[in-house]
Amino acid sequence: MQDFPEPLPHGEITEVFPDVFFVVGQSKFEIQGNIAQFTRSMTVIRDDDSLTLANTLRLDDEGLQALDRLGKVENIIRLAANHGRDDAFYSDRYDAPVWALEGAAQARPVKNVATLIAGDSGPVNGATTMVYESIAAAEAVLCVHRRGGILVAGDSLQNLTGPNEFFDDATAETLQKGGFFKRGNIGPAWRANLQPERSDFDRILALEFKHLLPAHGDPLLDEAREVIGQTVEEIYSS
């Protein structure tokens, strides 16, 4: 049996829309010898009794019991190139495939990998996978065609408006200075490292959506397309 990372602090699973759930928790990582505490989030999409997890966040025992009450975890989606810490845990626990773009590296071995293909729905009924074409990393967003369109994103599109209880003070200060705290943001570190072209965001903005459920930050509801469009203009027209 694999030695999976332990669960980190997190909140409760909340129902954002019917059959679409969101949970906010903590991420810890090392930067130049220092441990930074940050926030990350998981989206759960339900089709009948089948659950799909995107941007996995390992839950504690109480959280897992709450997850199991929602339905049966049958699929996992890997959207962000640098995520996947907890994919293997869920894949092992539920014998579920991890849907990932071709070439995406797995943080830990998983039982089964399925291929996420641009333009396809993957394991979610009524969805479209949009793949970034201008970057070297395997990164995608998923547009779920419900409630006017729900965009589920990894590192590329974020909605951090300030630190929450899962931050430490030093990381909060660093992210404040780095321009991370902005609604409907393009992830500053992600953008600096990968240098995406505007054409990718123009293709995202051509999708029909109103809401954003990011891996980093809180849900951005009703006006996500407008806010992200303004961010794209600010960045690429300057």
pLDDT of residue 33: 75
Q: Which two tokens stand for residue 103?
A: 């070439």
Q: Which two tokens stand for residue 109?
A: 């071995």
- What's 76's domain CATH number? 3.60.15.10
- Nearest alpha carbon to residue 91 among 56, 142, 45: 56
pLDDT of residue 104: 87
Instruction: Report whether 40 contacts 154 (CB < 8 A).
Output: no
pLDDT of residue 108: 80
56 occurs within a structural domain: yes
With tokens 């903005």, the residue in question is: 205
pLDDT of residue 34: 80
Chain centroid to CA 23:
11
Q: Which domain holds residue 36?
A: 14-236
Q: What is the pLDDT along the chain (238 residues), one digit of tens a residue?
A: 578 999 999 999 999 999 999 999 999 887 767 888 999 999 999 999 999 999 999 999 999 999 999 999 999 999 999 888 999 999 999 999 999 999 888 778 887 899 999 999 999 999 999 999 999 999 999 999 999 999 999 999 999 999 999 999 999 999 999 999 999 999 999 999 999 999 999 999 999 999 999 999 999 999 999 999 999 999 999 7
pLDDT of residue 30: 76
Query: Could you give phi then psi for residue 174, rounded to 5 degrees?
Result: -65, -45
Instruction: Report whether 152 contacts 126 (CB < 8 A).
Output: no
pLDDT of residue 129: 98
Instruction: Report whether 228 contacts 210 (CB < 8 A).
Output: no
| Long-range own/partner contacts, residues 224-228 (CB < 8 A, 24 or more apart) | 224/151, 224/184, 225/149, 227/183, 227/184, 228/157, 228/184, 228/201, 228/204
Domain count, the chain: 1
185 occurs within a structural domain: yes
* pTM (two decimals): 0.96
pLDDT of residue 94: 96
- Nearest alpha carbon to residue 223 among 215, 213, 234, 212: 212
Report the 3 state secondary structure along the chain: CCCCCCCCCECCCEEEECCEEEEEEEEEEEECCEEEEEEEEEEEEEECCEEEEECCCCCCHHHHHHHHHHCEEEEEECCCCCCCCCHHHHHHHHCCCEEECCCCCCCCCCCCEEECCCCCCCCCCCEEEEECCCCCCCCEEEEECCCCCEEEECCCEEEECCCCCCCCHHHHHHHHHCCCCEEEEECHHHHHHHCCCHHHHHHHHCCCCCEEECCCECCECCCHHHHHHHHHHHHHCC
4 occurs within a structural domain: no
Chain centroid to CA 149:
16
pLDDT of residue 32: 67
27 occurs within a structural domain: yes
pLDDT of residue 83: 87
C-alpha neighbours within 13 Å on the C-beta side of residue 146: 17
2 occurs within a structural domain: no
According to DSSP, the residues that pair with 50 across neighbouring strands are 47, 72
Q: Which two tokens stand for residue 168?
A: 């430490």
pLDDT of residue 105: 80
87 occurs within a structural domain: yes
